[in-house]
Amino acid sequence: MKARVVRIGNSRGIRIPKTVIEQCHLHGAVDLEIRQGQLVIRSVSKARAGWSQAFEQMHRHEDDQLLDPESASTSKWDRKDWTW
């Protein structure tokens, strides 16, 4: 598929056909990246996308234990003096 670079004010742009936008799920904000002289356009991924499912899977496999239990241990100050 070919597209023509067109003038948009002081910038340049291309028109992306509706079918391409739908196939690539490009809606709203997009990420633009240059890779080896090529322009890559992709939908912006949401921060922490998929984390909930990953945590559920970790729990099912009993792989959700603290790696450093000492860091979670409380001090005397934490137990007696700390208040919200």
The values of phi and psi at residue 57, to 5°, are -65, -40
Question: What residues have CB less than 8 Å from 48, skipping those under 6 apart?
Answer: none
Q: Encoding tokens for residue 77?
A: 């100050």
pLDDT of residue 30: 92
Q: What residues does each domain of the chain span?
A: 1-67
pLDDT of residue 39: 94
Q: Hey, is 50 helix, strand or coil?
A: coil
Sequence-distant contacts of 8-17: CB under 8 A, at least 24 apart? 16/41
In terms of CATH architecture, what is 1-67? Ribbon (2.10)
pLDDT of residue 76: 81
Yes or no: say if 18 and 3 are a contact pair by the CB < 8 Å rule. Answer: no
pLDDT digits (tens, 9 = 90+) for 20-72: 999 998 988 899 999 999 999 998 877 788 889 999 999 999 888 777 777 76
